Amino acid sequence: MKCESWMPLIEQRADGELDERAAWQVDQHLAACRSCAAFLERLRAEQAVYARYERDVEVTPAIWAAVEAKIREEPAQGAVSALARLRQWLSATVGAPRLSPAMAAVLVIIAVGVTLGVISLKNSGPAVPPNGVASNGSESNTPATPPSGPPGVKPPSSNPLDDVTAASKGSGTAGPRGRAGSRASRNPTPAQLVREAEQKYLTAIAILSRDVRHRRSNMDPIVLARFDSALGDIDRVIAETRRAVRQNPGDPIALHYLLAAYSKKVDALREMATD
């Protein structure tokens, strides 16, 4: 049997779709065939790339609102009165974002802190990457100013995302560190630095989303639904801030609001991934 004929079987083995006997046969072949073993490695590398795929689409409250409106136009399945539905909708809308006041406060604090940092950066010369966008309210509320950096901006090594990335990707952190010197020599603008931080958040979000996805089936459906709802609220903020960034690409405040929203999403996902 040629290697080409083994490929579909190796894929099915990677997918966990072979019975024990067939899986054993594939394993035996993989142990003996360097070419097929390399194919399996490539397959795994592809899976890792696909796991990082980010879509430009989110579930927004508007989608549910539209679904609900259409459902209401149809003959009722049960005897739920319009008043009861309205009450449910209002209470859900008001109740859902308990996160929102806290998040709004965090957004404001972080935005102010980082904006001050950017202003300070512009005035003082040496560029400090804004990697240290606080990951939660308590950190961003810390009044103490680090001696080596502007208020609200932590040094790069304390970026919580570094921990997430390092823990999840192992050697994946070597590259960015190796390029640190070249970045500094390029003298990136604050906007570029913020965009780099954005990309780090997106990477962390992709990794954590995958972890949470793997745990979903074991989670309590009610907790899961509430979590998804909270995540939906955060995604709405992200979508709004993204829109603001698109409209005003040079506006540092819009960019920092976006980062703060990403930070909140990382926190929420990390909480569910490690709970």
Partner 1 sequence: MTATGVAGRPSGRAGAVMNTSQEVIRRARSGDEEAFRLIFERYSRPIISFIYDMVGRRELAEDLTQETFVRAHRNLGGLRDETKLSTWLFGIAKNVTRESLRSRVREDLKVAIDDDRVRGLSDGGLPPDRELLNRELNGVIRDALQNLDDDKRAVFTLKIFQQRSYEEIAEITGSSIPKLKTDLHRARAEMRRRIEPYLRVNHEV
CB of 171 to partner 1, least distance (A): 11
CB of 145 to partner 1, least distance (A): 29
CB of 21 to partner 1, least distance (A): 17
CB closer to partner 1 out of 112 and 240: 240
CB closer to partner 1 out of 227 and 262: 227
CB closer to partner 1 out of 123 and 171: 171
CB closer to partner 1 out of 115 and 209: 209
CB of 163 to partner 1, least distance (A): 18
SS3 for the chain, per residue? CCHHHHHHHHHHHHCCCCCHHHHHHHHHHHHHCHHHHHHHHHHHHHHHHHHCCCCCCCCCHHHHHHHHHHHHHCCCCCCCCHHHHHHHHHHHHHHHHHHHHHHHHHHHHHHHHHHHHHHHHHHHCCCCCHHHCCCCHHHHHCCCCCCCCCCCCCCHHHCHHHHHHHHHHHHHHHHHHHCHHHHHHHCCCHHHHHHHHHHHHHHHHHHHHHHHHHHHHHCCHHHHHHHHHHHHHHHHHHHHHHHHHHHCCCCHHHHHHHHHHHHHHHHHHHHHHHC
Distance, in Å, from the CA atom of 49 to the CA atom of 39, rounded to the nearest integer, reads: 15
CB closer to partner 1 out of 118 and 268: 268
CB of 257 to partner 1, least distance (A): 20
CB closer to partner 1 out of 20 and 74: 74
CB of 100 to partner 1, least distance (A): 10
